[in-house]
Structure 1
Amino acid sequence: MSGKEDTEDRSALVSIPQIPDRLEAAGVRRVGAARIRQLASTPDFPEPAHEQGRIRVWRWGPVLDYFRGRTVRQGERTDLKAQRAVGETEGA
């Protein structure tokens, strides 16, 4: 099966180590497995289709949609924005 056909099977189950290669094959900017692990712990990342122990797998379709719709802010420190906003409201 070619990479393109492989990425088009939206119902396929994928684990975090498989996602970077699938993103690249689908024409989406590659994201490393470590960053995907971070994103998977956020509330807007798709829910796993199945979990058993430390193993989590997701349906490829929702994961691909998530990365296609994701706004990339490379180098932007979003954690500092939150601190500034708290400081501004306390000083007001």
Structure 2
Amino acid sequence: MPDSTGEAGREAEAPRMVTIPQMPALLEAAGLKKIGAARLRQLAAEDADFPEPIFSNGRTRVFDWNAVERYLRKRVLAQGERTDLQKQREEPPSDGETTDQGPNASPGSR
């Protein structure tokens, strides 16, 4: 007699293959915040933690939905945070001056 729990476990682990245009509707169905296809493409290109595609041929990329859903559930949102300034905050000025001179500061006013 086959072990039904083992079979069910294997079926649950089978990847559900989806493309980026299919993901926004799946996000909504999973109860997650809807993210547009353009933003998902940006995350796939720029975020090293975004799951790698299972298959890629030309511009077509197929992802494992289970991995993408896990990634999006764990992702921490920082709306409005300026990530372009993170490097400036991490690296203190070498000459002891502050980097926050304001938008109207001129080079001669130091």
TM-score normalised according to structure 1 size: 0.80
What amino acid maps onto 1:74 in structure 2? Q
Equivalences, count: 84
Alignment match of 2:56 (pick from 51, 56, 68): 51
What amino acid maps onto 1:11 in structure 2? P
More helix by share: 1
Alignment match of 1:35 (pick from 20, 39, 45): 39
Query: After the TM superposition, which residues 20-31 of structure 1 pair with which residues of structure 2 at under 5 Å, given as runs?
Result: 20-31=24-35
Could you tell me whether the CA contact under 8 Å between 1:9 and 1:60 is conserved in 2?
A: no
Alignment match of 1:61 (pick from 57, 62, 66): 66
- Structure 2 gaps of 5+ residues are 1-11, 97-110
Could you tell me whether the CA contact under 8 Å between 1:49 and 1:59 is conserved in 2?
A: yes
Could you tell me whether the CA contact under 8 Å between 1:50 and 1:56 is conserved in 2?
A: yes
TM-score normalised according to structure 2 size: 0.68
SS at structure 1 position matched to 2:80: coil
What's the CA shift for 1:91?
Answer: 4.3
**C-alpha distance in 2, partners of 1:22/1:29?**
10
Question: Which protein has the larger Cα radius of gyration, Structure 1 or Structure 2?
Answer: 2
What's the CA shift for 1:9?
Answer: 8.9
- Cα gap change, 1:79 to 1:54, in 2 (>3 Å): same
Higher-RCO chain (CA-CA 8 Å, sequence separation at least 6): 1
